[in-house]
């Protein structure tokens, strides 16, 4: 699965249980009418917030269970229960948003109550209309779109001529093309097969947008995109400027990497498939959405064979050894069903082993062991008997009583190991801020939540991986550094424009700039402009390619991931400085450092109780998100790429 995952409950739970950290109506708030002013005071506002915190704490386990079952047992019944839970939450959130307005302009509020009211006023990332019938419709559509994604399959004639139906993770193996043996046509067919699964939700999505926009307007925002951008302790316009500033810092590095990758793909497939100076066909980049290109590392490896970086091979070897051990413990001949069961047991054991590797990193920093219920209630592998939403996610079902879980279909790959570290970042954030009031139990902003686990992955240096036995000799000479940076950049740098454009598309959809009759056209214009990629096959408005991405079907805001990919390097630099590390940033490993762990935990424990600028400043000394640490980290690779790209025509027509 991709390393980028949603902010962690299910998409439905995110939309309804987690009240967004949004700014109040950007227009000046009107004070209460004189007769209302006399009737209410600061104590009433305190009681209003206390009641909300208590309701959330009491109801989260019950409603969260409905979402969990809907994601892990995809049936008509479970989707009905999830839709009912969503409708109940939408009704509650919509009502409380309206009630919160009575406290506009009230003086004498405590800082905590004033901030909590700010968080309540804009409700959720799925703003619902006041009309009960429309709320029910919104909830039903949300449940249906997530179920469509989780149960999607590509059915086609297999190698034997018999029809076979493949789940997403099976289709991804064709697209990932880790051995670089699949043809462009084979990958294009698999790509199209998965993207076709989104066609059924196109009309639903159009109605979904209409209903959310209606809810946003009732709150006081022009559309849902403006509401989402209001959630960063600054105005939507200021936030837009901040994102553009960050992209301006990062774009030169992405352009150099794109240029080098396009050149290698052109050498492999020829001008007819990959033009020397144009867009790269999306199916060739080793990922279903072309969001991260790490599977191209064998093609892009600068210095062949320098440093052993094949973590996946080591993990597969461990899994196979587990299978052989289980098989040796049985007696007699095993039939196909029994072998499949043993394989499932080996996969489960390996998933637990990989998760414990990640847990060990966090506990080395002084954080607690995962609760026992984590191991009994999490879903770590694809069940043999049913469909589940395999998209990795982390869950906090009881807001402070330790029922934390992850939902993944883990396989023995380096990408999955990285994803586990990412998901446990969410889990340890939950555990760190569990003593905060429930309205403050969230990240300082949503990008913080996504950055925590990714910060930890930056310490999975070759030396660290050698120490825990997953690679051989971890060379540290200049060529090994470039190899390692290339591998990481194909994961981190290639994601940046994708992380920005997903919400660029949605914001334009919400505002009407991209009309329903141009959904797909608008999507591919942005992908061409920002990523420099093109669809592998002709697309029409019968297609709905954005809906083939979980976060669109599941209504999870996406700019958080772009911000997280900046923040993780900013966090890492601050933690490395705190640990006393003096070498180049790309060599820093904070494993086992108590001071770094204490600084990190102190930040996590604040949750959303303060503006993110305050929280960031306490860890990093600055109040501004900044990509300088990322650029510093990859400075050796940038120099290498500039040298390799001399004489090439980099860039592409229409780039953003």
| 3-state SS track over 233-294 | CCCHHHHHHHHHHHHHHHHHHHHHHHHHHHHHHHHHHCCCCCCCCCCEEHHHCCCCCCCCCH
Q: Would you call 210 a catalytic residue per the annotation?
A: no
Residue 433 CA to residue 431 CA, distance in Å, equals 6
Distance (Å, whole) CA 615 – CA 219? 28
156 annotated to a ligand binding site: no
Name the active-site residue from 423, 445, 449, 610: 423
Structure tokens at 181: 């043996």
* 449 carries a ligand binding annotation: no
Q: For residue 453, what are the contacts with CB-CB under 8 A and spacing of at least 6?
A: 421, 422, 423, 424, 425, 426
- 517 has catalytic annotation: no
- Residues near 414 by beta carbon (within 8 Å), at least 6 away in sequence: 311, 312, 315
Phi and psi angles of residue 629, each rounded to the nearest 5 degrees, phi first: -65, -40
Q: Are 184 and 269 in contact (CB under 8 A)?
A: yes
CB 94 within 8 A of CB 135: yes
Q: Which of 258, 421, 551, 610 is catalytic?
A: 551
Q: Is 599 annotated in some ligand binding site?
A: no
Residues 513 and 519 sit within 8 Å (Cβ to Cβ):
no
Hey, is 157 helix, strand or coil?
strand
Residue 73 assigned to a binding site: no
Q: Which residues pair with 157 in a beta bridge?
A: 163
Token pair in block for residue 126: 């799925």
Which is it for the CA torsion 216, 221, 222, 228, positive or negative?
negative
Residue 470 CA to residue 200 CA, distance in Å, equals 43
Please check if 254 is assigned to a binding site. Answer: no
Q: Which two tokens stand for residue 231?
A: 């959630």
Q: d(Cα 223, Cα 29) in Å, to the nearest integer?
A: 18
- Residue 471 CA to residue 330 CA, distance in Å, equals 31
**Rg for the chain (alpha carbons), in Å?**
24
Cα separation of 19 and 438, whole Å? Answer: 10
Q: How far is CA 479 from CA 304, 383, 469, in A?
A: 10, 42, 22
Residue at token pair 């149960």:
151
- What is the Cα–Cα distance from 19 to 227, expressed in whole angstroms? 12
The annotated binding site for chloride is made up of: 232, 560
- Residues identified as active-site: 423, 551
The annotated binding site is made up of: 232, 422, 426, 450, 560
The annotated binding site for Zn(2+) is made up of: 422, 426, 450
């Amino acid at each position: 699965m991709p390393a980028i995952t949603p902010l962690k409950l299910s998409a439905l739970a995110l939309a309804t249980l987690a009240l967004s950290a949004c700014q109040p109506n950007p227009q000046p708030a009107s004070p209460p009418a004189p007769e209302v002013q006399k009737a209410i005071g600061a104590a009433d506002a305190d009681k209003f917030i206390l009641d909300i915190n208590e309701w959330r704490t009491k109801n989260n386990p019950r409603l969260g269970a409905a979402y969990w079952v809907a994601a892990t047992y995809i049936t008509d019944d479970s989707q009905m229960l999830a839709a009912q839970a969503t409708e109940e939450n939408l009704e509650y959130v919509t009502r409380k948003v309206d009630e919160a307005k009575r406290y506009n302009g009230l003086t004498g509020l405590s800082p905590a109550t004033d901030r909590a009211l700010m968080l309540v006023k804009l409700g959720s990332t799925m703003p619902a209309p006041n009309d009960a019938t429309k709320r029910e419709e919104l909830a039903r559509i949300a449940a249906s779109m997530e179920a469509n994604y989780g149960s999607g399959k590509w059915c086609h004639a297999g190698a034997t001529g018999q029809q076979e139906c493949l789940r997403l993770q099976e289709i991804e193996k064709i697209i990932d093309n880790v051995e670089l043996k699949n043809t462009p046509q084979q990958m294009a067919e698999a790509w199209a097969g998965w993207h076709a699964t989104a066609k059924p939700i196109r009309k639903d999505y159009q109605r979904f947008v209409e209903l959310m926009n209606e809810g946003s307007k009732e709150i006081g925002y022009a559309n849902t995109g403006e509401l989402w951008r209001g959630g960063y302790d600054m105005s939507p316009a200021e936030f837009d400027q901040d994102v553009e500033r960050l992209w301006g810092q990062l774009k030169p590095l992405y352009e150099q990497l794109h240029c080098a990758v396009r050149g290698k793909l052109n050498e492999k497939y020829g001008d007819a498939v990959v033009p020397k100076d144009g867009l790269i066909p999306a199916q060739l980049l080793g990922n279903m959405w072309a969001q991260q290109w790490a599977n191209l590392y064998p093609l892009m490896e600068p210095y062949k064979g320098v440093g052993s970086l094949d973590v996946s091979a080591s993990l597969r070897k461990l899994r196979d050894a587990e299978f052989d051990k289980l098989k040796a413990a049985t007696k007699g001949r095993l039939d196909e069903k029994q072998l499949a069961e043993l394989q499932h047991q080996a996969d489960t054991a390996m998933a637990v082993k990989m998760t414990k590797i990640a847990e060990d990193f966090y506990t080395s920093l002084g954080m607690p062991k995962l609760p026992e219920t984590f191991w009994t209630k999490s879903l770590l592998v694809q069940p043999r008997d049913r469909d589940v939403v395999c998209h990795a996610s982390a869950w906090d079902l009881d807001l402070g009583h330790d029922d934390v879980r992850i939902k993944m279909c883990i396989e023995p790959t380096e990408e999955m190991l990285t994803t586990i570290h990412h998901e446990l970042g969410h889990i340890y954030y939950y555990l760190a801020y569990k003593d905060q009031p429930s309205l403050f139990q969230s990240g300082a902003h949503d990008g913080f939540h996504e950055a925590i686990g990714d910060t930890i992955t930056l310490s999975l240096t070759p030396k660290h991986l050698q120490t825990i036995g997953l690679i051989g000799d971890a060379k540290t000479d200049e060529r090994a550094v470039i190899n390692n940076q290339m591998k990481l950049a194909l994961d981190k740098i290639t994601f940046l424009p994708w992380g920005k454009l997903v919400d660029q598309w949605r914001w334009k959809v919400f505002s009407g700039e991209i009309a329903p009759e141009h959904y797909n056209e608008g999507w591919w214009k942005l992908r061409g402009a920002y990523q420099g990629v093109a669809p592998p096959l002709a697309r029409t408005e019968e297609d709905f390619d954005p809906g083939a991405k979980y976060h669109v079907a599941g209504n999870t805001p996406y700019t958080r991931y772009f911000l997280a990919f900046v923040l993780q390097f900013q966090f890492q630099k601050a933690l490395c400085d705190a640990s006393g590390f003096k070498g180049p940033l790309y060599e820093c490993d904070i494993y086992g450092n108590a001071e770094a762990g204490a600084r990190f935990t102190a930040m996590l424990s604040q949750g959303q109780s303060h503006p993110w600028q305050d929280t960031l400043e306490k860890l990093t000394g600055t109040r501004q998100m900044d990509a300088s640490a990322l650029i510093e980290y990859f400075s050796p690779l940038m120099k290498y790429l500039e040298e390799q790209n001399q004489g090439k025509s980099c860039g592409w027509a229409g780039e953003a």
